[in-house]
């Protein structure tokens, strides 16, 4: 780590818990103090000491077009001269709502919020209000933000830090959350047999990215749709990562499954703070002020976030962007797997389109339990040697890596070469 990042981190820890504004950035899982980033462009980041990196975190998903895409930047510059926030409705928000409804098959009505956490929290509250029921089902290793009901055996930073749940979540509330293994429909059916008409909703990342990437068994997802419908519960797809990432309409378009509610975020803000939840009209109409279930936000639909998000979606809707993202993802993730195997290492690479993860294990990784069986120490060594070679990966085995449109073939091949060297050395 360079001197400036080191000094900044020593300063940051005095005023910010752990020196970071989001735990997973702290690099505790890989034993590396965080780099402080000064700028980014395309698929590159530069740290405070001027060191250049190839970025596969992409701000944890939003930067699918790469950093500083000219059309996103110009849309922001243009908007800035009109002010930054009004606390009143704008045409941009209507355009964003219409764009989401147009692209995401199951969404008939949508509400903008400021984070994925807010989107998931609001969808859960709406499902409870709409059904009049309290219990929810989530899946071990899936992460839906840090709302109380969802911090039960969660993935991402909670898994990274090995936090069992989180102090501060009242037992009275946590007991309404049933957490089950992903990709296992039998235990979901058992839970419905036991709690049936007490379950408001099942919330799931259709393509989990928060225990590392897990490839869903599509029959499992279809089974969730069936069992929720049979029991009058709602199915909530948390597509904060997969939305607009794996296809224009997300995982629900890819697999042809129609949830009742969908949580969105990341990409639709173009890098600015954003979240959204939407779904069937008869459900969404229960939200205030049309209905009686409350949710609000000072900066919801912020014009700058809308401008950046709309510019991003406009580019994603053009031509063969997703075919190119698929090709780039396949080249990178299969290359990383081959590099590990040629170094004689056991490795499983799970990837769909331009999101993926590498697990150091000989066994399939199909849920949180199997993800946790992977060799975390090996991942640490891989992470550190790749960072030394200028490759910036997510600092946890329980996160996804992302490829953007800005990663060209030369960059991907260079990354694979770095991986070959790195994996041989560990
Ligand atoms: P935010 O509140 O962080 O905007 O979104 C929460 C969220 C909801 N749903 C899914 C599927 C998510 O992946 C997330 C957030 N993702 C993590 C990384 N896996 C954000 C990174 C961080 O916590 O700093």
One-character DSSP codes across 83-101 = -S--SS--HHHHHHHHHHH
User: Residues 155, 368: contact at Cβ < 8 Å?
Assistant: yes
Which strands make up the sheet holding 401-402, listed edge to edge?
348-352, 355-359, 401-402
Instruction: Determine the Cα–Cα distance for residues 99 and 27; give it in Å rounded to an integer.
Output: 36
Does 127 share its domain with 77?
yes
User: Residues 411, 66: contact at Cβ < 8 Å?
Assistant: no
Does 79 share its domain with 44?
no
Pocket test for ligand 1, best of 166, 236, 240 (most atoms within 8 A of CB): 240
* Residue 178 parent element (H or E): strand 177-180
- Given 316, 334, 363, the domain boundary residue is 316
> Using the 8-state DSSP alphabet, how is residue 24 labeled?
G
Does 9 share its domain with 106?
no
Least Cα distance to 294 among 86, 128, 138 occurs for 128
Atom of ligand 1 nearest to the CA of 117: 2
User: Residues 344, 104: contact at Cβ < 8 Å?
Assistant: no
For the question of residue 417 being annotated catalytic, the response is no
What pLDDT, on the 0 to 100 scale, is given for residue 170? 87
For the chain, how many helices (H) and strands (E)?
Answer: 15, 14
Does 74 share its domain with 97?
yes
What pLDDT, on the 0 to 100 scale, is given for residue 60? 98
- Given 261, 290, 316, the domain boundary residue is 316
- Given 255, 287, 316, the domain boundary residue is 316
What pLDDT, on the 0 to 100 scale, is given for residue 214? 98
What pLDDT, on the 0 to 100 scale, is given for residue 161? 65
User: Residues 304, 76: contact at Cβ < 8 Å?
Assistant: yes
Does 230 share its domain with 357?
no
Instruction: Determine the Cα–Cα distance for residues 252 and 71; give it in Å rounded to an integer.
Output: 28
- CATH at residue 352: 3.90.1150.10
Does 79 share its domain with 54?
no
What pLDDT, on the 0 to 100 scale, is given for residue 273? 98
Does 298 share its domain with 381?
no
pLDDT tens figures, 348-364: 999 999 999 999 999 99
User: Residues 202, 235: contact at Cβ < 8 Å?
Assistant: yes
From the candidates 28, 266, 328, 372, which is the catalytic residue? 266
Atom of ligand 1 nearest to the CA of 274: 4
Does 333 share its domain with 267?
no
Does 58 share its domain with 87?
no
Q: Would you call 334 exposed, middle or buried from its count of C-beta atoms within 10 A (0-12, 13-18, 19+)?
A: middle
For the question of residue 102 being annotated catalytic, the response is no
**Looking at the DSSP assignment, which residues form a beta bridge with residue 277?**
111, 263
Point out the residues of the chain with pLDDT beneath 50. none
> Using the 8-state DSSP alphabet, how is residue 357 labeled?
E
Instruction: Determine the Cα–Cα distance for residues 88 and 104; give it in Å rounded to an integer.
Output: 26
For the question of residue 143 being annotated catalytic, the response is yes
Does 229 share its domain with 98?
yes
Query: How many domains are contained in the chain?
Result: 2
- Domain boundaries, position 220: 70-316
Atom of ligand 1 nearest to the CA of 116: 5
Distance (angstroms) between ligand 1 centre and the Cα of 2 equals: 28
What pLDDT, on the 0 to 100 scale, is given for residue 70? 98
User: Residues 181, 368: contact at Cβ < 8 Å?
Assistant: yes
Instruction: Write the CB contacts of 334 (distance below 8 Å, at least 6 apart in sequence).
Output: 349
Report CA 93 to chain centroid distance, whole Å: 22
Distance (angstroms) between ligand 1 centre and the Cα of 82 equals: 30
Does 121 share its domain with 64?
no
- CATH at residue 163: 3.40.640.10
What pLDDT, on the 0 to 100 scale, is given for residue 165? 66
Distance (angstroms) between ligand 1 centre and the Cα of 117 equals: 7
Distance (angstroms) between ligand 1 centre and the Cα of 146 equals: 9
What pLDDT, on the 0 to 100 scale, is given for residue 277? 98
What pLDDT, on the 0 to 100 scale, is given for residue 155? 74
Does 25 share its domain with 141?
no
């Amino acid at each position: 780590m360079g001197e400036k990042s080191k000094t900044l981190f020593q300063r940051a820890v005095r005023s910010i818990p752990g020196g970071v504004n989001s735990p997973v950035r702290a690099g505790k899982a890989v034993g590396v103090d965080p780099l402080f980033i000064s700028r980014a462009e395309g698929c590159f980041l530069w740290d405070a000491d001027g060191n250049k990196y190839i970025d596969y975190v992409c701000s944890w998903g939003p930067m699918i077009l790469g950093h500083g895409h000219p059309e996103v930047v110009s849309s922001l510059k243009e908007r800035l001269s009109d002010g930054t926030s009004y606390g009143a409705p704008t045409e941009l928000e209507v355009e964003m709502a219409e764009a989401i409804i147009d692209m995401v098959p199951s969404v008939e009505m949508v509400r903008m919020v400021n984070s994925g956490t807010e989107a998931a929290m609001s969808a859960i509250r709406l499902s409870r209000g709409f059904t009049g029921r309290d219990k929810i089902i989530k899946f071990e290793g899936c992460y839906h933000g840090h709302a109380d009901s969802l911090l039960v055996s969660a993935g991402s930073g909670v898994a990274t830090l090995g936090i069992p749940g989180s102090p501060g979540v009242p037992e009275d509330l946590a007991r309404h959350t049933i957490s089950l293994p992903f990709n296992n429909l039998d235990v979901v059916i058992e839970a419905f047999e036991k709690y049936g008409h007490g379950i408001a909703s099942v919330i799931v990342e259709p393509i989990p990215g928060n225990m590392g990437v897990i490839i869903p068994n599509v029959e499992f997802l279809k089974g969730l749709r069936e069992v929720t419908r049979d029991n009058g519960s709602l199915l909530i797809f948390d597509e904060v990562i997969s939305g607009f990432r794996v296809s224009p309409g997300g995982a629900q378009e890819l697999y042809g499954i129609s949830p009742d509610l969908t949580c969105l975020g990341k990409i639709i803000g173009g890098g600015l703070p954003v979240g959204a939840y939407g779904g069937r009209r008869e459900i969404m109409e229960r939200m205030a002020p049309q209905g009686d279930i409350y949710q609000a936000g000072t900066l919801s639909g912020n014009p700058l976030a809308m401008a950046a998000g709309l510019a991003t979606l406009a580019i994603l809707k053009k031509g063969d962007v997703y075919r190119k993202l698929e090709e780039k993802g396949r080249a990178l993730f299969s290359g990383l797997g081959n590099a590990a195997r040629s170094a004689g290492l056991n490795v499983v690479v799970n990837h769909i389109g331009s999101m993926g993860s590498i697990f150091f294990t000989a066994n399939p990784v199909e849920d949180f339990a199997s993800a946790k069986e992977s060799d975390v120490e090996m991942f640490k060594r891989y992470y550190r040697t790749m960072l030394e070679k200028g490759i910036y990966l997510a600092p946890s085995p329980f996160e996804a890596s992302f490829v953007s449109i800005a990663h060209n073939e030369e960059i991907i091949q260079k990354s694979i070469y770095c991986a070959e060297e790195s994996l041989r050395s560990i």
